[in-house]
Structure 1
């Protein structure tokens, strides 16, 4: 069983006070101990941001920012995420399931004051396909490429956009994909005025914005802060003029800042801190189950991890329930399938529990009677650092010795994307409300070469699976809803047993606000978390 793991005590007074003081918004001294009127100061671990260009951003915090800075053609409401509604689009239709026509709403504006046109929408989707950054596969899977995007994604007038897919596709699937962050609409003129060479403005848009959402990106400082100002042309207007998100890695410093009034919202408190605040009338505790998973990625380039028996041994060495109970009791639930609970077809079965003798026997069967050594990359922030230490102890108990490699989450993400990890603790959030969002990521790898176009999670793990890829691709085209759900359930059961992914937990995001702060809307997916309604009394 997992030895009891307790969070470290609050930082010593001097250290915690210093961290909280450093966390204050500009112009607020330590004596003030209150965030200013009209400004919301939020504490969050934001070291996962690599870019704030919607054609490139693919991390939790980055897509959350994008969801508040940009708009899309269509979206899904948080109270009914299976329902599609228009955002910039007034209507959409298809006659043959291959050519889709969108009519934009009249009157929508960018932050610059310029009207949103169908050409801006066409440019944005073409740009994602041409740049071919991490999230591009969401768009490119419909047959859009650098060579054909200009012809197949086109504006026919100021309010009409036409998408011509390579083959017939499920309309709802296409619409769900367009509701992902990569479907955000940017202002063509502003972006192209900052383009360098053939980068389509990517260098500039990494740290700036050209959208029509509730807020404008004023500043991003890596691993320090993000500042958002209200978009003067937003309709409806956001209720707070400025949002400051400060990077604070340690949850104890977040808690102290919240208690002092230096911050208004804490986003990364841990279980014991959250439980202590539930009965305190000075604070509000807001939970939201998310379509977000924490898992181990086992590189198939590592000779030992490529052995099925070793992968199975790792899955049987971990005490899932113990980790959840002792480290993340309020912020994660045990989950062991690639579709998170809440998505159609999600499995809630838990076939794995800690069985150390079986794990040792599998290692002997694989030819490792004396165990083996593997490097583990993980984020140094809580709770992942605590989970990493627990996994180190549990795998060590069966003979798998971990070399611990801690770093910023951005570093872990970059390493796994480059296929340079051996084992890594990472997180994955669904991009849209369809089972294919996760199925494609976890169980498709059409090209395992280093220069592959679709660099899915299976590709990052160097897992070559032509048969599973073909069956997963076929599932998305099935027009029989019940049969499609059954297919995804069968894929998940197979995936649980053979894949190089150890799916550990599903996130239950918990934000804690001061009692005078209302209006934060946590979404089931990161880009659905909304700041526009936040207000401080």
Structure 2
């Protein structure tokens, strides 16, 4: 989808001396011709280890520094193409997958890519058991059995799973960042106390991607440098320089001046402010991010079904997309993004203050309730949070906002320490199970389960019968039957869960007009830098 008004402006430029270590906030020269300079909020980065990275900004970085066995085609979003494997197959019983590795590909270190590296990388994810490990462990892998189930033999990789799945679902999982192939020799050369190179890889890269990480300053910036001989063809630009600029208004000013090439965190207000500018264009793509409220079911009275229903009627969905979220969001009340198999597009909930007050009275709270809502401290989410705070207050729910940095808010959420939280979620692979398995699946709701990658667990919600429904849908090979199953799950989830699903994001990327071929990945949310030209 393209945001048709072409917005442009004149301007000076930023920053020379990228590689001299100067602070990006004080540089003031033209953006180098061989460097893509971007601004976005990157304070959500927790780790750059593919086995742990699970946040939007970190995944963007890793998508350009690592590759996987199977890739999504940046030029045809959603289409699977060969990555580090040249071919793959599945056995008749649907339980064993084989991959033939491409020859002649090297890591950034110069080490050759081997099936052994692929097996070790996937085994490592399971053994480290960080947040995104569930993408692989759902296939029956454990630290005890993974060495027997994922094996390398020459240039062949064999993966045996514990039950039949729709083969396309398994292949789609192999495109996730957590399935990135790491240079075993380099990682193990930096191993400390048997950590598989984990501490080192939190701030370094060891992949086959078009770029390597040259510099990373948390909550400040990172610099990627192109590596020659990339198997897909060398990156068109020598460097990518990402600046942490969380405020959309600041990004807009930098873009207008020419101090950055691309702004990825503009609010709709910022975009409208660019109207008529002669040197800037704005592209819009339907993205896979779903915005939602999660109510901790350990917290009373948020665990009361009537209270949850009242909250659903106290969000002004249409009002927000017509004002603070204009051109940035659409109303979406199913947990699957539009464009996925089994999408549900009807929106039965709308702002109804009197109905919500009646529901609170039925729940035993005629005088209302008080709740704290945590939210990442960036302009867009704060605008959303304030709008929600206002309409919840109209219905008798007094909300105290608790803003924080992305990593801080996520930390509380993953530790089940929130009350109500405003969050967003992006799919990990282009299959409906990616969201169903986290929003509507929770096989063990105990604190000890530590299913931090499962949103239902994070908010302490027992998914009940939906867990079995999700398990049945993921093994169904008939696409039409699968579609109906996911529709049924979403409708039940929408009406009975601890979540209030509200919006799907439209990605607004503003760029100087000399920038071309920046692919953001559409609903798969995998940004690609190596095709970009200036």
Q: CA deviation at 1:173?
A: 1.0
Distance across 1 between alignment mates of 2:524 and 2:202: 18
Alignment-derived partner of residue 479 in structure 1: 477
CA contact (8 A) 2:311 2:392 kept: yes
Kindly state the Cα deviation for residue 307 of structure 1 after the two structures are TM-superposed: 0.3
Compared with structure 1, are the counterparts of its residues 360 and 23 closer, same or farther at alpha carbon in structure 2 (3 Å cutoff)? farther
Are the equivalent residues in 2 in contact too, given 1:33–1:260 (CA < 8 A)?
A: no
Structure 1 residues without counterparts, runs of 5 or longer: 1-16
- Count residues in correspondence: 517
- Mean Cα deviation higher: 514-523 or 33-42: 33-42
Of 451-460 and 410-419, more deviation after overlay is shown by 451-460
Cα distance change on mapping 1:452 and 1:29 into 2, 3 Å? closer
Distance 2:217 2:26 in 1: 22
Aligned residue for 1:354? 351
Contact 1:126 1:150 in 2 (8 A): yes
In 1: Cα distance, 2:313 partner to 2:509 partner = 33
Tell me how far 1:100 sits from its aligned partner: 0.8
2:159 corresponds to which residue?
Answer: 163
Aligned residue for 1:368? 365
Is the Cα contact below 8 Å between 1:187 and 1:211 reproduced in 2? yes
Q: Distance in 1 between matches of 2:355 and 2:525?
A: 41
> How far apart are residue 232 of structure 1 and its match?
2.6
Contact 2:463 2:497 in 1 (8 A): no
Secondary structure in 1 matching 2:98: strand
* Structure-2 change in CA distance of 1:450 and 1:301 (3 Å): same
- For residues 324-375 of structure 1, the C-alpha deviation after alignment (integer angstroms, 9 at most, x for no partner) is 1111211211111100101111101101000010000000000111111111
Relative to structure 1, the CA distance from residue 413 to residue 204 in structure 2 (aligned partners, 3 Å threshold; closer, same or farther) is: same
Deviation at 1:467, TM superposition (A): 1.7
Residue deviations 1:140-183 (CA, integer Å, cap 9, x gap): 011111001111111011x2100011122221111001111111
Corresponding residue of 2:498: 500
Contact 2:252 2:263 survives alignment (8 Å)? yes
Mapped to 2, the partners of 1:376 and 1:467 lie a distance apart of: 28
Q: Work out whether residues 45 and 248 of structure 1, in 8 Å CA contact, stay in contact via their aligned partners in 2.
A: yes
CA contact (8 A) 2:14 2:30 kept: no
Q: Are 1:174 and 2:170 counterparts?
A: yes
Quote the RMSD (CA, aligned, Å): 1.8
Structure 2 gaps of 5+ residues are 1-11
1:408 maps to 405
Residue in 2 that maps onto 1:218: 214
Q: Note if contact 1:33-1:261 (Cα within 8 Å) is conserved in structure 2.
A: no
Mapped contact 1:63–1:526 kept (Cα < 8 A): no
Quote the Cα distance in structure 1 between the aligned partners of 2:421 and 2:86.
Answer: 43
**Cα displacement (A) at 1:292:** 1.0
| Distance in 2, Cα, partners of 1:227 & 1:505 | 32
Match of 1:465 in 2: 463
CA distance in 2, matches of 1:535, 1:380: 32
**1:528 alignment partner, one of 520, 526, 529:** 526
What does the per-residue CA deviation read over 1:429-468, in whole Å, with 9 as the maximum and x for residues that have no partner? 0011110000001000011122215330000010012321
The CA deviation string for residues 388-435 of structure 1, in whole angstroms up to 9 with x for no partner, is 111111101111111111111111111101111001111100011110
Give the TM-score, by structure 2 length: 0.94
Q: Deviations over 1:118-142 (max 9, x none)?
A: 0000011101111111111110011
| CA–CA separation in structure 1 for the residues paired with 2:216 and 2:333 | 35
Alignment-derived partner of residue 331 in structure 2: 334
TM-score where L is the length of structure 1: 0.93
Alignment of 1:138-287 (within 5 A): 138-157=135-154, 159-235=155-231, 236-287=233-284
User: Is the partner of 1:258 in helix, strand or coil?
Assistant: helix
Q: Indicate how the Cα distance of structure 1 residues 30 and 220 shifts in structure 2: closer, same or farther if over 3 A, else same.
A: closer
Distance 1:422 1:337, change over 3 A: same
Is 1:76 matched with 2:72? Answer: yes
Aligned-pair CA distance for 1:286? 1.4
Alpha-carbon displacement from aligned partner over 1:222-246 (angstroms, at most 9, x marks no partner) = 1111111112331311011111100
1:63 counterpart residue number: 59
Closer, same or farther: CA 146–525 of 1 in aligned 2, 3 Å:
farther
1:325 and 2:314 aligned = no
- Aligned equivalents of 1:385, 1:234: Cα separation in 2: 41
- Residue 73 of structure 1, CA deviation: 0.4
CA contact (8 A) 2:286 2:506 kept: yes
Match of 1:40 among 36, 39, 48: 36
